[in-house]
Amino acid sequence: MLDRAQGLGDDPGALRGALTEAEGLLAGAVSSLRSAQPDAAELSAAVNGTHQVVTTLADLVNTVIDHVPTLAEAHGPEVGREVAADLRALHGCLTSGALLLSPALDDLGEIPGS
């Protein structure tokens, strides 16, 4: 999927498809964790993966913020300002979430086999 996402270019349908695929993969991971008894290595991988996903989402949101002027052109300056404010708030939450996971990552790094 990453290779596909890197070659999206200017195709909004491809971007939408990549995000839908990512959502499906994450939903599958949630379902797998709920329906099984994961071992410590799988749970450690889930914490590490969650950190990576949250960090990547923060980068995505930050990149979308850079393109908010396009939304303002299409929907008006007020919508652009509101969307930018909402996205900045979301970016802050995602960044905080990644920082909150850092101690867990440190703790898991000390566990043999994680």
Quick check: 105 pLDDT over 80?
Answer: yes
User: What DSSP letter does each residue of the chain carry, written as one string?
Assistant: -HHHHHT-TT-HHHHHHHHHHHHHHHHHHHHHHHHS---HHHHHHHHHHHHHHHHHHHHHHHHHHHTHHHHHHHH-HHHHHHHHHHHHHHHHHHHHHHHHHHHHHHHHHTSTT-
Please say whether the beta carbons of 52 and 29 come within 8 A. Answer: no
pLDDT of residue 13: 86
pLDDT of residue 11: 76
pLDDT tens digit sequence for 79-90: 999 999 999 999
pLDDT of residue 6: 54
pLDDT tens digit sequence for 37-90: 999 889 999 999 999 999 999 999 999 999 999 999 999 999 999 999 999 999
First to last CA, the chain: 25
Split at pLDDT 50, 70, 90, the class of 8 is low
The domain locations on the chain are 1-36, 39-114
Q: Which tokens belong to 97?
A: 């979430």
pLDDT of residue 98: 96
pLDDT of residue 15: 87
Quick check: 93 pLDDT over 90?
Answer: yes
